[in-house]
Amino acid sequence: MLIAAGAVLGGGLLLLWGVLVALSPGKPPAFRDDAGRRLPRSISEKLCVQINGVEQGMFIVGKDRFRPVLLFVHGGPGMPEYALSLRYPTVLEDLFTVCWWEQRGAGLSQGGELPLHGLTMEQLVSDTLTVADYLRARFRQEKVFLLGHSWGTALALQAAARAPERFRAYVAMAQVTRQLDSEKEAYAYLLDAYRRTGDRRMVAALEANPLPEMSAMPPAYRALRDEAMHRAGVGTTRKMRSVFSGIFLPVWASRVYTVREKFALWRGKWSEHSTRMWNRLLTTDLPALIPRLEVPAYFLHGSFDHTVSYALAKAYLTRLEAPAKGFYTFAGSAHSPLFEEPERARRILRDDVLAGTHALADRG
């Protein structure tokens, strides 16, 4: 009986592994017209490039390779977003040639030659600039667009401030400001929300970690916050109720990574390096560090976002000195308006960002 049960279990595991391998060819999809023909000017590549002495991975995709180039700097720390963009399609590839770079220590950019124990935010900012230079040279464009999401805004903002001559504009999706203050603001919101709904278990868990009284975020609270935010509809997207169903499963079902790369992606997300970068972010005051930019700045922010404070981001842009700037509220979004309200994002990117104006920005 035990032998038979073991055989059934082993057969089931082999079948599961076979399905996983079949779902993981590791290639980005081509862009095709309605008749199934590949768009002749399109680009859809997965590649590794030497960036500051180490191999780093990226996807470069777009429906027309001769359009302006946009460098997407993902969030996390340690959480690449190209697979997520396929589950929640953006409009970026309609307007730009997009580089979905996977930062040192994350996703495709992992390997034995990467010394992560001493990796700093400053090194990642330097990597951002080097990736921008690679794109400028390859696509023969003097300047590229720069878009950061969440943690990625901390890197992209500093890159734009350090080398404005490389960039046409800076776009932030969920701009980080003072993240520990943002977390304390979110804690108060979540505690009130769960008290109102009568969720005693979550209230007790939050009360056991009184974040506003602390000078740092304890690991126990970080483990709790994702569940609390997503169940309340203020996490990655307004509709996403868990990281497991909304991100983990879609990544494992994605065809753009091999099985080995999928394991590496999750290893990077929960690595010691990711935790160290997160703790660094909590102690960084970006408005004090970057009071001005020499390129146009556009902040896209969901009104339901409590992963990164909407109010703090809006106040920062009010004070930020820039040749042109606009704040755009996405009334139906949480942390990822490009994924949640793509058509509104298309209008902003096409009519304001590419045109260098701010006609669609919030008033007042």
- Per-residue pLDDT tens over the stretch 211-239: 998 888 888 898 899 999 999 999 999 99
- Decide if 255 is inside a domain: no
Q: What is the CATH number of the domain that holds 328?
A: 3.40.50.1820
Q: Residue 30: inside a domain, yes or no?
A: no
CB 326 within 8 A of CB 358: yes
Single out the residue of 74, 131, 107 nearest to residue 257, CA to CA. Answer: 107
- Answer yes or no: are the C-beta atoms of 307 and 341 closer than 8 Å: no
Give 3-state DSSP helix, strand, coil % of the chain, rounded to 5.
45, 15, 35
Range of the domain at 72: 43-178+282-353
For residue 225, tell me if it sits in a domain: no
pLDDT (tens digit per residue) in 261-306 = 988 888 877 788 888 899 999 999 999 999 999 999 999 999 999 9
Residue 14 placed within a domain: no
Total number of domains constituting the chain: 1
For each of the chain's 364 residues, which pLDDT tens digit applies? 555 555 555 555 555 566 667 767 889 999 999 999 999 999 999 999 999 999 999 999 999 999 999 999 999 998 999 988 888 878 999 999 999 999 998 989 986 555 567 789 999 999 999 999 999 999 999 999 999 999 999 999 999 999 999 999 999 999 999 999 999 999 999 999 999 999 999 999 999 999 998 888 888 898 899 999 999 999 999 999 988 888 888 888 889 999 999 888 888 777 888 888 999 999 999 999 999 999 999 999 999 999 999 999 999 999 999 999 999 999 999 999 999 999 999 999 999 999 999 999 999 6
Alpha helix ranges (H) inside the chain: 2-22, 82-87, 92-95, 121-138, 151-162, 179-197, 200-207, 219-231, 243, 249-253, 259-269, 272-282, 286-289, 310-319, 337-340, 342-348
The answer to whether position 266 is within a domain reads no
Could you tell me if residue 123 is inside a domain? yes
**Is residue 261 a part of any domain in this protein?**
no
**Contacts for 158 with CB less than 8 Å, ≥ 6 apart:** 121, 125, 289, 290
The residue to which tokens 């409009």 are assigned:
91
Provide the β-strand partners of residue 297. Answer: 170, 325
Residue 113 domain-assigned (yes or no): yes
